[in-house]
Amino acid sequence: MDKFIIATWGEWNVENFEKYFSNDDRYILIKEKHELTQELLESINPKYVFFPHWSHIIPKSIYDNYNCIVFHMTDLPYGRGGSPLQNLIVNGKSETKISAIKVVKELDAGPVYTKYDLSLAGTAQEIFTRASEIIFRKLIPMIVEKNPTPVDQVGEVTSFKRRKPEDGNLENCKDISQIYDYIRMLDAEGYPNAFLEFNDYVLTFKKAQMESGEVRAEVIFKIKED
């Protein structure tokens, strides 16, 4: 019987694993970096190792010896690199694709197994949750069932740079729409929220809503750390 490893983090991904695969002995969940060892892989010998929303470097010894698949939130080869969701929104995109690709040495450059449409509406958490549902309910089962042959990426390569926490400063925004986008694109588990500095305080923002040309959001005041 073929085995499949799913290495992921985030409560929303773990919930979808439990929802779709907990009663299927073929699937093994890994939530921590230290769990993904050569010894474990050798003992399981998985047909595929899936990486939905995995933020750790995948060792060469693993992707060279096993079929490793990552899910990148752009229509590759457009948008290789870090912070794809935030970079897409900053660039004015409202729709994207989830690209399921084979892991190779060059970042996000592997051949593509499949792509699926994804809306960029809502908060980052809502987008991640929507993407997770697609990955666990549609893409992983399709790859397991059909064993598609990945095809090389075609087109002009466009690369993204990983965004830093300081890039979430709302002082960088030029209009009300950008303020809304900055707040929502950083509103997710594990991400530093959009912020402003005011005297001795840092104001962080989440739960943004755009109504009649106004942005309403939850704001938290914190004293600046030295």
| 4-160: CATH number | 3.40.50.170
Q: What are the structure tokens assigned to 45, written together?
A: 């010998």
**How sure is the predictor about 196, in pLDDT bands with cuts at 50, 70 and 90?**
very high
Q: Report the pLDDT value the prediction gives residue 18, as an integer from 0 to 100.
A: 96
Q: Tally the C-alpha atoms within 13 A of residue 206's C-alpha that lie toward its C-beta.
A: 13
**pLDDT cut 90: percent of the chain above it:** 94
Q: What is the DSSP string of 123-174?
A: -HHHHHHHHHHHIIIIIHHHHHHH-PPPB---S--EEEPPP-GGGGBGGG--
Domain spans of the chain, in order of start? 4-160, 165-223
In terms of phi and psi (left: phi > 0; alpha: psi -120 to 50; beta: otherwise), the region of 2 is beta
Please, is 24 exposed, middle or buried when counting C-beta atoms within 10 Å of its C-beta (0-12, 13-18, 19+)?
exposed
Q: 165-223, which class in CATH? A: alpha beta
Q: Distances from the Cα of 51 to the Cαs of 55, 68, 135, 195, in angstroms?
A: 9, 7, 10, 30
pLDDT over threshold 80, residue 157: yes
Q: How does pLDDT run across 215-224, given as a tens digit for each residue?
A: 999 999 999 8
Strand arrangement of the beta sheet that strand 112-119 belongs to = 27-30, 4-7, 48-51, 68-72, 95-102, 112-119
Which residues are bridge partners to 214 per DSSP? 211
Q: Report the pLDDT value the prediction gives residue 5, as an integer from 0 to 100.
A: 98
Q: How does pLDDT run across 28-48, given as a tens digit for each residue?
A: 999 999 999 999 999 999 999
pLDDT over threshold 90, residue 202: yes
Write down the pTM of the prediction.
0.93
**How sure is the predictor about 55, in pLDDT bands with cuts at 50, 70 and 90?**
confident
3-state secondary structure of 122: coil
